[in-house]
Structure 1
Amino acid sequence: MKKYFILVLALVWALPGHAQLFGGESVVNNPNFDMQRFSWGYFLGFNTYDFDFDYNRYIASPATGKDYSVDRTIGFNVGLIGNMRLSDHLDLRLEPGVSFNRINFQFTKADQKTFREINSTFVHVPLLLKFSTTRINNYKPFVVGGFSTSINLSSNENNPDDNSEGQFRMTTNNYYYEIGFGIDLYLYYFKFTPSIRGIFAINDELVRDDDPNSFYTGNVDKMSSRGLFLNFTFQ
C-alpha cells in the first residue's frame, strides 16, 4: 500500500502544470465538468491479491504460522465508469471491469509441501459512493466506498476433480466491500484520477475437496480474498 501511495504522489507531481494544481494560480481547467448529471470514462490499473484463511484448528507450519503461505503478484485491471452526480460532494459510480491476476501459494502440513499457482480472471462490478471535498483550483481529493460482486471465470467450481487430482477450486460468484481514496486532477482536455482501493471478500470462496478430511481443505473454515487496486481513470 505504501508503494502505491508513493507512486500516486509521484504521478501527480510529474503531471504538466503541477505548480498550478497546488499553487495559487487562478487558471481553472474544465470549470463546469462536475456540473454534469452523468459522465463517463474508463480506467486502467494494477492489482494485487492474496487470501485470508481461517482454520478449524491450529496445526499450521511452525515456520509460517499458517497452513497456506501466499505469494502476491501484480495483475492488470481495465474497465468503464458511469458516474451520476447526486450533489456537489456526492456521486454514485458504477465501475464494471475485468481484472487479471495470479496468486502463488504453498500448502504446508506435517513437513509436506504442495505448490499451487492460481491464474484468475474476474469480471468485477462495484457500485460505489464517492465523497469529495470542495474543488481547489484543479484538484479535488475524495474517499470512496461501497459493495461489489465478481464472476471468477477461472474458478473451477464445477470441475469434478479436486486437489487430489491437482485442481484447486473456488466459488464462481463472490461479494466484496470496498474502500479507498484518490484525487481528481482537472487537465485541459479531460479529468485524470489516480486512486487506491482495497477490496475484501465477504463470502467463503473455497470449494472443499470431496473428502471432508482432505489434506488440503479439511482444516480450512473460511477462505476469502483481499485485493489492492491502483487505478488511473480518464473522463
Structure 2
Amino acid sequence: MNRIVIITLLFLNSYIASAQLFSKERVLNNQNVDKDWISFGFILGFNSYDFDFDYKANASNTDIIVDKSAGFNVGLLSNLRINDYLDLRLEPMVTFSQRNLTYTNPDFNNSREGFREIKSTYVHIPLLLKVSTKRLNNFKPFIIGGVSTSLNLSSNENNPDDNSAGQFRTTNTTNYYELGFGIDFYLPYFKFTPSIRGIFAMSDELIRDNDLDSPYTSQIDKLSTRGIFLNFVFQ
C-alpha cells in the first residue's frame, strides 16, 4: 500500500509540474533575442562517426567491423531569421574523430594486417533550415535539416602509398544531408540550444588501392560516412 501511495504521489506531482510548465504564465527571459535579423553564436559538441559499407555482389568472406569512439566539435553559428518559425543557419565547425576497422576475412596472416586506425579531422560546413514551434514560456522545440560539405584534412587521398604500406585512403571532400531536432532554452543572459542530428554521406569516399585485387578495397562497392552530432549552441 505504501508503494502505491508513493507512486501515486509521484505521478500527481509530475502531472502538476507538467501542467504548470505548459500553462502557467512565467517571466520570459531574453524576449528580444529572436528578433534580430542576423545573430551569431558558438558551438561545442560531440560526435560519433561510422562507415557504411556496400559490398560487391561477388564479394566473399568479407566483413569489416567498425569500432567507433566519441569525438568532439567546435564551431561558430551564423543565423538568418526568416520569420518567427523559420531560420537559415550556417554552422562551420571543426570535428575530430577516430574509427578503427577490423577485417575479419582470412586473407590476412595476422590481426595486425587486418586492422586500420583512421583518425579524421574535418572542416564541416552545414547549411541548415530550422523549423521551430511557437515559443512555450522559456523554451522552443524545433526540427532542423539541410545539406553540408566537409574537407577531410586526414584523408590521404593524394598519398601515393596505399594499404600495402599501411595507409587507408578516402576522398578529401564529401557532401552530406543532415536531419535532427533540438530545443531552444531561453536563459536570463543567453539562449542555450542542445540538439542532436544525423549526417549521411551522399557519395562513395573510398580511394581504391593500386592493386586491383587488394583485400582491403577490391570487394567494397561503396564506402560512405554516417554519424551523429550532439551539439550545444550558445547565443
Query: Match of 1:51, SS?
Result: strand
Which of 74, 81, 105 is matched with 1:78 structurally? 74
Amino acid at match of 1:157: E
Question: 2 CA distance for matches of 1:164 and 1:211?
Answer: 9
Given that 2:122 and 2:152 are in contact with CA atoms closer than 8 Å, whether structure 1 keeps it comes out as yes
Percent identity of equivalent pairs: 63
Equivalent residue for 2:57? 57
Tell me which residue corresponds to 1:180: 180
Letter in 1 for 2:185: L
Aligned pair partner of 1:106 in 102, 112, 117: 102
Please, which runs of 5 or more residues in structure 1 have no aligned partner?
Answer: 1-17
Structure 2 unmatched runs, 5+: 1-17
Listed one character per residue, the Cα deviations across residues 11-57 of structure 1 (whole Å, up to 9, x for unaligned) are xxxxxxx9986662420001111111000000100000110000113
| 1:119 Cα deviation after fit | 0.6
Q: Residue 160 of structure 1 aligns with which residue? A: 160
TM-score normalised to structure 1 length: 0.87
2:202 matched residue in structure 1: 202
Count of residues paired in the alignment? 214
Aligned to 2:124, the other structure's residue is in SS state strand
Q: 1:60·1:108 contact (CA, 8 Å) conserved in 2?
A: no
CA shift for structure 1 position 111: 6.1
Is residue 69 from structure 1 mapped to residue 65 from structure 2 by the alignment?
Answer: yes
Q: What CA deviation, in whole Å up to 9, does each residue of 1:150-173 have, x standing for no partner?
A: 000000000000001111000001
State the partner residue of 1:117.
Answer: 117
Residue equivalent to 2:83: 87
Asked if 1 retains the 8 angstrom alpha-carbon contact of 2:66 and 2:99, the reply is yes
**Change over 3 Å in CA distance of 1:19–1:34 after alignment to 2:** farther
Contact persistence 1:192–1:232 (CA under 8 A): yes
1:125-174 superposed Cα distances (whole Å, 9 cap, x missing partner): 00000000000100000000000000000000000000011110000011
Say if 2:194 and 2:231, in contact at 8 Å, map to a contact too. yes
Larger Rg: 2
- TM-score normalised over the length of structure 2: 0.87
* Amino acid of the structure 1 residue aligned with 2:66: V
RMSD of aligned Cα (Å): 1.7
